[in-house]
Amino acid sequence: MHDNKYIDIYNRLIDFWFPRFRFVFRFFLILDKVLHLIAFFYFIFLNEAIKTKMKSCGCGVRLNGRIVMTDPKGVIFGDNVHINSGAYLRTEGGLEIGDNVHISRNITIYTRNHRYNGDLLPYDSVNINKPVLICRNVWVGMNVSIAPGVTIGEGSVIGIGAVVTRDVAPFEIVVPEGPMTIGRRDREHYRRLEKEKLYGGASGYVNKNLS
């Protein structure tokens, strides 16, 4: 049975002592709001600076939160393009996004790839550029990844968590494959641990406060 005295001390601090001093921690809630406000304005100005370096940027383009765009010079945005925070856009190969495209959080778009059949393993220093085109009126959900060379057709919808490695036809709705069962727990083992109230805490150590 795994045990660790430092984990036990930490659990006691969090569950027993800290609740008695909640009034002290209200300061951190206020500080958190202030820092978020500062970050909000910081990224507004930073993203506006990124837009000035793009090849072309339409009206009503909103880049919200932290956006990474590796090479704005080859990027074209139409009007009313919205991209939320957490975006990573590898754009050396060229990226064009049409009018009225709305993209949720944590989008990843690659327009460049390594050469795997070159002079070295697993790949050499030669980069292969393949532009990505997202046509007008497309809605892209959260945590989507788009591979180099992909074209996403007009009016299509890309569902949450999809990995897009092929062209998407106009008006097509793309979602990731459904959940797949790869195994099952041993029920008797599970019920024994549940009966004995053996629950893991941080890093899998025994949580004595729950046992």
189 is catalytic: no
Quick one: what percent of the chain has pLDDT higher than 70?
Answer: 91
* 67 has pLDDT over 80: yes
* Cβ-proximal residues to 59 (8 Å cutoff; 6+ apart), any chain: 79, 80
pLDDT in tens, 147-171: 999 999 999 999 999 999 999 999 9
Exposed, middle or buried, 134 (CB in 10 Å: 0-12/13-18/19+)? buried
Strand-pair partners of 103: 83, 140
Strands 112-114 vs 127-129: parallel, antiparallel or unpaired: antiparallel
- Mean pLDDT of the region 18-44: 86
CA–CA separation, 64 vs 55, rounded Å? 19
Q: Binning pLDDT at 50, 70 and 90, where does residue 201 land?
A: low
Q: What is the mean pLDDT of the chain?
A: 88
Q: pLDDT value at position 3?
A: 57
Q: Which residue has the higher pLDDT, 2 or 177?
A: 177
* Global model pTM greater than 0.85: no
Residue 190 corresponds to which tokens in the numbers above? 């599970």
The one catalytic residue in 2, 36, 82, 114 is 114
Residue 206: per-residue pLDDT: 60
Peptide bond into 122 cis (omega under 30): yes
pLDDT digits (tens, 9 = 90+) for 128-150: 999 999 999 999 999 999 999 99
Asked if pLDDT for residue 210 goes beyond 70, the answer is no
Tokens 């990731």, residue located: 176
Instruction: Round to whole Å and give the CA distance between 51 and 73.
Output: 10
